[in-house]
């Protein structure tokens, strides 16, 4: 049996770490630059419910606060009760005066784009509604 | 005048094993996550809204992309509304989601700003039929249009 002598210990192999550190930093830099390109995203969290049209009743009949997102000949509009809004701030301001506990329903017609539908949900949130429900119209 | 012993070896002997372990683990982590992110998130022009900051830390789960021309993409494949509904039913019945009811399963819908709302309505109707009662709509907070 052979024991390690003091001289053996002194002969321990040594590695040049420079190339490994180079490669590690290169990888690190690569990932930092590539992951930084991804855009930050946020989210809106509406409930969803189907439009119920049974027994001659419309969804809006039982829902006290409904924004309808419609498309007219002059462009998309938001309809709240009998009033029509074309601007977001005016809609948000009108929503602020409503009772919050009942929640808000956003009924979106097939005509407008997703941008207008999302804006209505955001207006509800901005006005202070905790419960915003998206109703996809048929 | 000479003091002490002559220096034997000034090279440090470092145990490289933990460093190599960590480097490889980091490499595998970045490779897998970068690939997943690329597969699940299509390049879309999201609605410019501030969103709800407090809920944005939730896990992605099922990510549904709706492109400007109305195409529905899940992962890297285009799906129909029927296929999407089947996918959502499968996910909602997953033991992790089923344990606390389907209300805990909230898919992320990434719809393009210019996509027809009719298509988003179709997606949400399919999800609702699958038992999903809430979704998350992705927005781009960097171009917030709140004042328009």
Q: Is B111 exposed, middle or buried (0-12, 13-18, 19+ CB in 10 A)?
A: buried
Q: In the structure encoding, which two tokens stand for residue A28, read together?
A: 């690190």
The pLDDT of residue B83 is 94
**Gap between the Cα atoms of A123 and A120, Å rounded:** 5
Domain range summary for chain A, segments of one domain joined by +? 64-136
Tell me which residues of chain A have a pLDDT lower than 50: 56-57, 59-60
The pLDDT of residue B8 is 56
Residue B145 DSSP SS3: coil
Output b/e per residue, B31-63; b: 16+ Cβ within 10 A: eeeeeeeeebbbebbbbbbbbbeeebeeeebbb
Residues of A in contact with B113 (CB under 8 A): 113-115, 118
The residue behind tokens 């683990």 is: B25
Name the H helices within chain A: 6-10, 18-35, 59-62, 88-96, 114-126
Per CATH, is A64-136 categorized as 3.30.420?
A: yes
Rg value, chain B, Cα: 25
Residues of B in contact with A38 (CB under 8 A): 37
The pLDDT of residue B85 is 93
Query: Which of A70, A32, A119, A59 lies closest to B47, judged by CA?
Result: A119
The pLDDT of residue A21 is 75
Please judge whether A44 and B124 are an interchain contact, meaning their C-beta atoms are less than 8 angstroms apart: no
A69 touching B, CB under 8 A? Answer: yes
Looking at CA atoms only, how far is residue B83 from chain A in angstroms?
A: 19
Please judge whether A122 and B50 are an interchain contact, meaning their C-beta atoms are less than 8 angstroms apart: yes
User: What are the phi and psi torsion angles at A121 (to 5°)?
Assistant: -65, -45
The pLDDT of residue B61 is 78
Tell me which residues of chain B have a pLDDT lower than 70: 1-12, 34-39, 53-60, 95-103, 143-148
A43 touching B, CB under 8 A? Answer: yes
Mutate which of A42, A70, A110, A120 to test chain B, going by most B C-beta atoms within 10 A?
A: A42
């Amino acid at each position: 049996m052979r024991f390690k002598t003091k001289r053996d210990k002194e002969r321990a192999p040594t590695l040049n770490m420079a190339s490994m550190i180079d490669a590690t930093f290169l990888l690190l830099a690569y990932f930092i630059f590539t992951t930084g390109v991804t855009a930050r995203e946020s989210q809106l969290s509406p409930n969803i419910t189907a439009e119920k049209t049974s027994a001659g009743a419309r969804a809006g009949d039982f829902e006290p606060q409904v924004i309808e997102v419609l498309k007219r000949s002059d462009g998309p509009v938001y309809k709240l009760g009998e009033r029509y809004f074309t601007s977001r701030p005016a809609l948000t301001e009108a929503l602020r005066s409503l009772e919050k506990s009942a929640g808000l329903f956003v009924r979106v017609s097939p005509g407008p784009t997703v941008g207008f539908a999302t804006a209505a949900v955001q207006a509800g949130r901005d006005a202070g509604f905790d419960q915003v429900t998206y109703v996809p119209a048929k | 005048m000479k003091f002490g012993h002559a220096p034997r070896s000034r090279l440090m002997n470092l145990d490289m094993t933990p460093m190599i372990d960590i480097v490889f683990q980091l490499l595998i982590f970045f490779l897998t996550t970068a690939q997943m992110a690329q597969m699940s998130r299509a390049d879309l022009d999201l609605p410019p809204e501030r969103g709800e900051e407090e809920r944005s830390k939730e896990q992605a789960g099922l990510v549904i992309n709706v492109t400007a021309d109305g195409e529905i993409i899940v992962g890297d494949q285009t799906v129909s509304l029927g296929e999407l509904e089947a996918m959502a039913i499968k996910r909602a019945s997953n033991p992790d989601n089923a344990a606390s009811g389907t209300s805990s399963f909230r898919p992320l819908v990434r719809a393009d700003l210019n996509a027809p709302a009719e298509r988003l309505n179709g997606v949400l109707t399919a999800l609702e039929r699958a038992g999903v009662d809430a979704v998350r709509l992705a927005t781009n907070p960097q171009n917030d249009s709140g004042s328009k």
